[in-house]
Amino acid sequence: MERKIGKDEMKSTEGKEGCFSMQKEISFEELREFENSFQGSRANQVAMNAASTNGVIKAATNPLVFGKVPHNFSVSLEQGDITNQKQSGRCWMFSALNTMRYRIIKKLNLKTFELSQSYPLFYDKLEKANYFLESILETMKEERDGRLIAHLLSEPMNDGGQWDMLVNLVNKYGVVPKYAMPETVNSENTREMDGFLTKLLRQYACELREGFQAGKSVETLREKKKEYMNHIYTILCICLGVPPKSFDFEARGEDKTYTCDRNITPVEFFKKYVDMDLEQYISLINAPTADKPFHRTYTVSYLGNVKEGRPVKYLNLELAPIKAAAIAQLKDNEPVWFGCDVGQSSLGKKGILDVDAVRVNDLFGTEFSMNKAQRLDYGESLMTHAMVFMGVDLDEKGNPTRWRVENSWGKETGKEGYMVMSDKWFDEFVYQVVVNKKYLPEAIQKEWEQEPIPLKPWDPMGSLAKQL
């Protein structure tokens, strides 16, 4: 039986070791001490003036970092015009399509070219709706207020995604040039569309679960799902337009060579002009947490879009083999897709990703000392953005010093849309890199064949597929 502690006993324990040795509240005496400590420091006064006038980031910006990140690289790939995802969370989609359009530009000797981002967006929304409803049907016996159902209902529709999810879309639906399905107001700013789709999907989840509780079979409810999906399709057509089943492809290269392909389907177009064996490209992650031993493969439960497609899969590795594979692929004239925590130690408009870029430690007189594993474990860092490596600078020993990054925030970011990442920033905040497995040692290629260990649906490795 639990013993209750009386008031007299609580008083008697004050000042002694144990749970009552310290007061719980902030006293006015402590507040006076805090203020005196602050006011007694000239550095605090300077920091207050700078931060209150300019904001924390500007006040803490280290100007010395600007000279450390030149836009010169020993290995550099040239791309077409920079893309812009506008007010949408399609970074994973833009960056993957940027690796693919690069192949078309080189194949046809084009100055620039862009694949439609609205086209895969349409089918991603449609497939995500189906994936969500199927997840609801599969979890009918779970408690509504349990963590799993709460997780599923938290965000049934968003713009986020993973490399494998884009692969599933491309394998099933192909790709099209941007002119075949251009952007709309709703593809460039997805908030309203996502909001109404989310509202509708939660309603459908409610109806399905209540139907099950009323005695309807899952098979009967799955028939109802077809009606729901028809509604979702209609909404997507209203917001984004009807996706093309075929189109005419015309292009003229810098050498005046003319290419014309009439009535080609999106799948045929991908096979013929992108010509990329997606099965050879695998996701490597660097997640140095105790729950994810290196050299093992992982997946994230209830994370995906195309129900019959391949699941999200990662191989967790140390940084050295990940960097080596990325460098080898860049040297072979091929871009590299990656996922990172872009908001950490970064100057977005300047296009600088450097651990010394923002000296908040100096501004606040404190120390942010968590390592990569601790940041993941305690929710301080996770993948928030996907971009493309388009180059790397190597020292005399072949070690990387900085990386050239193609972003999808328009040409106003960085230098004409390109950012510079220090190698130390890579160590701390890059979590996922996709490479052709041929650039990995044979032993690591074999490790990829392992059956993946399922991670919880809310694991930070799945965060890029969430709306952030």
DSSP secondary structure, 406-455, as one string: E-SB-TTSTBTTEEEEEHHHHHHHEEEEEEEGGGS-HHHHHHTTSPPEEE
Q: E strands along 30-146, which residues? A: 75-76
Residue 355 per-residue DSSP state: T
**At residue 335, what are phi and psi to the nearest 5 degrees?**
-65, 165
Q: Which of 106, 69, 70 is nearest to 335 (CA)?
A: 106
Strand partners, 454: 299
Distance CA 167, CA 177 (A): 17
Give, in degrees to the nearest 5, the angle at Cα 212 between 206 and 214.
100
DSSP secondary structure, 164-229, as one string: HHHHHHHHHH---BGGGS---HHHHB-HHHHHHHHHHHHHHHHHHHHHHHTT--HHHHHHHHHHHH
Amino acid at 9: E
Question: CA 210, 214, 217, 223: dihedral to nearest 10 degrees?
Answer: -50
Which residues have C-beta within 8 Å of that of residue 287, sequence separation ≥ 6? 316, 373, 376, 431, 460, 461
C-beta separation of 455 from 299 below 8 A: yes
Q: Are strands 400-406 and 385-394 parallel, antiparallel or unpaired?
A: antiparallel
**At residue 458, what are phi and psi to the nearest 5 degrees?**
-100, 15
C-beta separation of 465 from 168 below 8 A: no
- Residues known to be catalytic: 91, 385, 407
Where do runs of H (alpha helix) occur along 263-318?
266-269
Q: How many CB atoms lie within 10 A of CB 139?
A: 17
3-state secondary structure of 243: coil
3-state secondary structure of 278: helix
28-39 vs 42-54: helix axis angle to the nearest 10? 90
CA distances from 59 to 49, 65, 240, 376, 440 (A): 9, 14, 42, 27, 43
